[in-house]
Chains A and B, each alone.
Chain A
Amino acid sequence: MELAIKVQNLTKNFEDVTAVDHINFEVKKGEIFGFLGPNGAGKTTTIRILTGLLKPDEGTASIVGYDVLRNPIEAKQCMGVVPEVSNAYIDLSAWENLNLIGKLYGVSTHRLQENATKLLKDFGLYEVKDKLVRGFSKGMKQKLLLCMALVNDPEVLFLDEPTSGLDVESARVLREKVTQYNKEGKTVFLSTHNMEEANQLCHRTAIINHGKIAAIDTPENLRVQSMELQHIEVLFDKQVNLEEISKHPNISKASFAGNRVRVYTANPSAVIEFLVDFAKRKGIRILSLNTMMPSLEDVFIKLIKEKEASPV
């Protein structure tokens, strides 16, 4: 198994705060790896260490086999970075920005022209390539950042909250491009708040909180590990008493979600039988009934709460 990223015992302290606390993980080549966590969890600090902007206090990290501390130039040569904050040069045009970054990666002039033209066309920025970035919208700037990250055709792409603050259409285009890039065999390290985004894009996901990794697995496996979070949503034609429903031994919790009744259970088939029987006994009709798997968001919240509840 070839590794694109390997992190061992990585730790970073800021005065008395431990931002990243002895974390370990590996990302395989060709994988989209999601990095989820609440604000201040240590996501950006981890990315900053991996991209050579911060030195860790302990531990090692390597990109495509190059240690980020011992061989930073070689490690950086293999990566492209889309940071959390837009940092293209606003006094330069889109074309000049791409040329600058390409040349800093040592891309030959001919290849640079080809790559820059293709990327700007793909992202719909070719028409404005000679305009100063100062006048670009947030979506255009974010697309340009992705172009800048891809201009050297990197093996590993780091994305720190890439769709944060973007409109739906721009976010969709960005996700499509990331998927397309990954299909070419490239590795993507995606830090995000957006559970749906991680769910759609990522092959595996790590959940980080208070600088520690709470779980690493595929989004599907993470959901399966939290089956107690699966629920059934049922819509009756009349109002029902929740207490009567909650009494069933297979139902852990029942609540209203709008005009629907939401019941949490680890045994959905038994609960569906009970609900059908309940409706017959009460002489009411079931208008709709849906079994819902736990979302990645449910799993995320559960894991974060568990971590916070556990003693330090």
Chain B
Amino acid sequence: MSRLAEQFRRSFVIAKKNIKIYYSKGPVIIFGLVFPLFLALAYVIGRNIPLKEVLPGLIGMTTFFTATSVGPSIVPWETRSKTLERLLCCPVALWTIIFGDMVSSFLFGLAISIIPIIYVLTLNIELLNFIVLLFSLIIANFCFSALSVLLSAYPPTDIPATSQMLSSLVKFPLVFISGVFIPVEQLPEWGRIIASLFSINIFYRLNKTVNIRKGLLPIGIRPLNDCNFYRNILFSSNKTP
């Protein structure tokens, strides 16, 4: 148990290092701040929709783009500068490094997605719903950061731009099947099946339920998704160059 705790402690050391180095990198700023900002503006400006209708999509997009912006940068960058080897020479397990990368991605996403959450406070929603929203925000951030690290692990590359580009190829279709732009009910059968597999859809629906309607969704689905992502990362990371 103490060995496991020690590895978790070392994960947070890696996360702290990532925060210092990668939060100010160009691709992180562009994909994690500038891009979601303009996407949000495009989503809001010129559409006469009440705030409570806009917020679920806004929170979903912000969380998704920010939490997935750091992960794809870390592994390629560290592979290129050979610092990944430096870490692997240290007494840390592979999962420790990956978990550290996820934590740094998670914290970035969480810090930014708090901004639209502040607007939720102006809607006078029920306290229980707000707690559920915060809880789901944490799980969603964790899940999206796991997805981002998975995207950086395969295909193996040491070029951060390639990793960001490939992750965008996955992220954009996911946004379109999330229900933010097109309601899931209007998607064809296969689209609804795919949408149900991804956390962004579940997160968006939950946001909508919490903010607009009453009642809760089975949010227990999402931790299962997280575990699945994390397992996939561990397999894929062995192929990193």
Are A and B part of the same complex?
Answer: yes
Count A-B pairs with CB separation below 8 Å. Answer: 65
CA gap between A100 and B83 in the complex, in Å: 12
Query: Which of A73, A83, A96 sits near B92, CB closer than 8 Å?
Result: A73
How does the 8 Å CB contact mask read for A77-115 relative to B, with 1 for contact and 0 for none? 101010101111111100010001101111000000000
CA gap between A61 and B76 in the complex, in Å: 30
Residue on A nearest B87 in the bound complex, by CB:
A104
How does the 8 Å CB contact mask read for B61-102 relative to A, with 1 for contact and 0 for none? 000000000000000000001110111111111000000000
24 contacts between A and B (CB under 8 A): A51-B89, A52-B88, A52-B89, A53-B89, A72-B93, A73-B7, A76-B89, A76-B90, A76-B91, A79-B89, A83-B89, A86-B82, A87-B83, A87-B86, A89-B21, A89-B81, A90-B81, A92-B17, A100-B13, A104-B10, A104-B91, A104-B92, A106-B10, A106-B91
**B88→A89 contact, CB < 8 A:** no
Q: Mark B residues whose CB is within 8 Å of A.
A: 3, 6-7, 9-10, 13-14, 17, 20-21, 81-83, 85-93
**A53→B85 contact, CB < 8 A:** yes
Query: Which of B9, B86, B90, B91 sits near A88, CB closer than 8 Å?
Result: B86
Residue on A nearest B24 in the bound complex, by CB:
A91
Q: Which 9 A-B pairs have the closest CB atoms?
A: A87-B82, A76-B91, A104-B90, A77-B91, A103-B13, A81-B89, A87-B86, A91-B21, A73-B91
CA gap between A105 and B86 in the complex, in Å: 12
Q: How large is the interface on A (under 10, 10 to 19, 20 to 34, 35 or more residues)?
A: 20 to 34
Report chain A residues within 8 Å CB of B92: 73, 104
CA gap between A103 and B92 in the complex, in Å: 11
Q: Mark A residues whose CB is within 8 Å of B.
A: 51-53, 72-74, 76-77, 79, 81, 83, 85-92, 96, 100-101, 103-106, 148
Report chain B residues within 8 Å CB of A91: 20-21
**A85→B82 contact, CB < 8 A:** yes
CA gap between A294 and B158 in the complex, in Å: 46
Task: Tell me, rounded to whole Å, the shortest Cβ–Cβ distance linking A147 to chain B.
Answer: 13
